[in-house]
């Protein structure tokens, strides 16, 4: 009887330890995702700076087994065409600073033909007080991709399925 009670306590302690370890691992993963200045986080800051009225933050969807994350943001502005042109300049500069070249909406490191991110910006119909809205979409490689060759290959296949030509 006493042995059975000790066994149950050991199992319970093991389950608690496993649960705590799992939570710590999840926080560590989320911290790795947000601690690096991604194109998405820089774009969020840019859009917030360009926006006249406060907007809801859009969610980032992570695809860890495929090696990428995706993001969409709608923002209200006074001049839709100017917003699109300015965003294109901004994102081209970001791509250059990361050692890439922007071609057909893909930022690619030209020497190794590695896609870093895809972006698209266009007009959008939304209820804005300014009557103008723009939408930005970004699909970006996860920051930790180089640590796993299987995920790196999955990212390349995903990018190709989304229109990246090697």
Domain coordinates of the chain in residue numbers?
1-35, 36-161
Q: Which of 85, 21, 55, 67 is nearest to 159 (CA)?
A: 67
Q: What is the pLDDT of residues 8-65, one digit of tens each?
A: 665 445 434 433 333 333 333 333 333 458 999 898 888 877 766 555 666 789 999 9
Q: What is the pLDDT of residues 63-119, one digit of tens each?
A: 999 999 999 988 887 788 888 899 999 999 999 999 999 999 999 997 888 899 999
For residues 7-37, one letter each, b for 16 or more C-beta atoms within 10 angstroms of the residue's C-beta and e for the rest, the string is eeeeeeeeeeeeeeeeeeeeeeeeeebeeee
CA 108/CA 106 separation, integer angstroms? 6
Architecture of domain 36-161: 2-Layer Sandwich (3.30)
Residue 104 has a CB neighbour count (10 Å cut-off) of 9
């Amino acid at each position: 009887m006493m042995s059975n009670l000790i066994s149950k306590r050991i199992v319970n302690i093991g389950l608690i330890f496993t649960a705590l370890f799992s939570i710590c691992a999840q926080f560590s993963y989320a911290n790795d995702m947000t601690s690096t200045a991604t194109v998405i986080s820089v774009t969020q800051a840019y859009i917030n700076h360009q926006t006249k009225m406060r907007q809801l933050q859009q969610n980032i969807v992570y695809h860890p087994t495929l090696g990428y994350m995706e993001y969409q943001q709608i923002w209200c502005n006074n001049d839709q065409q100017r917003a699109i042109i300015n965003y294109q300049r901004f994102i081209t500069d970001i791509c250059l600073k990361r050692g890439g070249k922007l071609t057909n909406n893909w930022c690619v490191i030209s020497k190794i033909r590695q896609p870093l991110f895809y972006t698209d910006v266009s007009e959008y119909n939304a209820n804005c007080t300014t009557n103008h809205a723009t939408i930005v979409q970004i699909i970006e490689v996860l920051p930790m991709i180089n640590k796993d060759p299987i995920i790196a290959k999955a990212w390349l296949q995903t990018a190709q399925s989304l229109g990246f030509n090697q």
